[in-house]
Homo-oligomer: A and B are copies of this chain.
């Protein structure tokens, strides 16, 4: 009964063009809306000087996780991370989450109990309250939606759009570990299919943890607060360094130079990449799911960034017309291209 006129495949519009196209007619009607579509989270007026930050994400079985190797407790933890990482990317503190689940018949109460134990652990760790949601039967796979709400002084909220030429590009932690963890899990699943052997993960536990139980970097939001430092722009690394740097460039109307030799890798990431004949730089650029923070600060703030520690300066912002490039040690430049981990986009 629903007609099918012309048919355009989603892929034809391109991954990041789709939402722009679909929401171009939407107008804002509420003066309480401070930031709408197009950042890690929306910003809503709370009081004269504070704002509420709001983010919503969906995780689907078969796309975002594989229950054959994803322990339910870790999945619950990771769902919370996904939500509060978006809030951290706005330089805000997450305070509440809601969880809406679609539960298929293959999910038992025991699996759900483990899932909620992971949610509870992550909530306690991040001092976040689970305040609602709903539960529906699912005909298909396990469906998880996490909505996170945070709060910050308005003058501390950081968007993707404030980067300026010469700003330093800063990065927390290291990259590519989650991607290599996923590759390892997929390899062991493939190799062991139909056998009763146990998978071999020795020496790569850190990679599994980074994929299965990543921690959102709200500690960095606290450190920035203590240093009284407000980044000019920020994003959380979910789609790979290339895609996420390009998001900053697009929102801030600027270019960027990232220095290849400054991209930080964990030892296990490099070791497994070598074993699996993968370039760790590719894992960092396109891998995604790192849940680290990428942000920019004015050049003059270099010392305070060094003071915080555990932050690498991996490049700098340039004028928009210079484009966004990865600079190799020999001075070569490789254009950054958005290439998501999977067909997923944030808006």
Q: Give the interface of A toward B (CB within 8 A).
A: 1-2, 4-10, 12-13, 18-19, 21-23, 25-30, 32-33, 35-37, 39, 41-42, 44, 46-48, 50, 52, 54-64, 67-72, 95-96, 98-103, 105, 107-113, 116-117, 120, 123-124, 127-141, 143, 145, 147, 149, 151, 199, 342-347
Q: How far is the CB of A119 from chain B (nearest CB, A)?
A: 8
Q: Is the CB of A7 within 8 A of B110?
A: yes
- Which of B58, B64, B347 lies in contact with A145, CB distance below 8 A? B58
Q: How far is the CB of A326 from chain B (nearest CB, A)?
A: 26
Residues of B within 8 A of A29 (CB): 123-124, 127-129
Residues of B within 8 A of A98 (CB): 42, 54-56, 147
Q: Is the CB of A96 within 8 A of B33?
A: yes
- Pairs of residues from A and B, 5 with the lowest C-beta to C-beta distance, nearest first: A140-B140, A47-B47, A42-B131, A62-B139, A8-B109
Q: Is the CB of A96 within 8 A of B44?
A: yes
The answer to whether A55 and B139 touch (CB under 8 A), given A8-B108, A113-B22, is: no
Residues of B within 8 A of A27 (CB): 124
Dominant secondary structure of chain A at its interface with chain B: mixed
Q: Is the CB of A62 within 8 A of B140?
A: yes
Q: Is the CB of A68 within 8 A of B30?
A: no
For A61, A108, A111, the residue with the greatest tally of chain B CB atoms inside 10 Å of its CB is A108
Query: Across the two chains, which residue of chain B brings its CB closest to A47?
Result: B47
A183–B8 Cα distance when bound, in Å, is 32
Other A-B contacts than A26-B120, A135-B345, 15 sampled, CB-CB below 8 A, are A2-B69, A10-B112, A18-B112, A25-B120, A26-B129, A29-B123, A30-B96, A32-B96, A46-B46, A54-B132, A56-B100, A58-B134, A60-B137, A102-B143, A133-B347
Q: How far is the CB of A93 from chain B (nearest CB, A)?
A: 9
A199–B321 Cα distance when bound, in Å, is 58
A286–B237 Cα distance when bound, in Å, is 46
Residues of B within 8 A of A30 (CB): 95-96, 127-129
A140–B12 Cα distance when bound, in Å, is 20
Q: Is the CB of A346 within 8 A of B134?
A: yes
A137–B341 Cα distance when bound, in Å, is 12
Q: Is the CB of B136 within 8 A of A344?
A: yes
Residues of B within 8 A of A140 (CB): 60, 62, 139-141
Query: Across the two chains, which residue of chain B brings its CB closest to A344?
Result: B136
Q: How far is the CB of A213 from chain B (nearest CB, A)?
A: 14
Residues of B within 8 A of A145 (CB): 56, 58, 100, 145, 147
The answer to whether A36 and B131 touch (CB under 8 A), given A47-B46, A58-B102, is: yes
Q: Is the CB of B68 within 8 A of A1?
A: yes
Residues of B within 8 A of A109 (CB): 7-10, 12-13, 18, 21
- Of the A-B pairs whose beta carbons lie under 8 Å apart in the complex, a sample of 28, sorted by A's number, is A1-B68, A1-B199, A2-B72, A10-B107, A18-B109, A18-B112, A18-B135, A27-B124, A29-B128, A29-B129, A30-B96, A36-B132, A37-B131, A46-B46, A52-B52, A54-B149, A56-B98, A56-B99, A57-B100, A57-B134, A58-B101, A60-B139, A62-B140, A98-B147, A134-B345, A136-B342, A137-B343, A143-B143
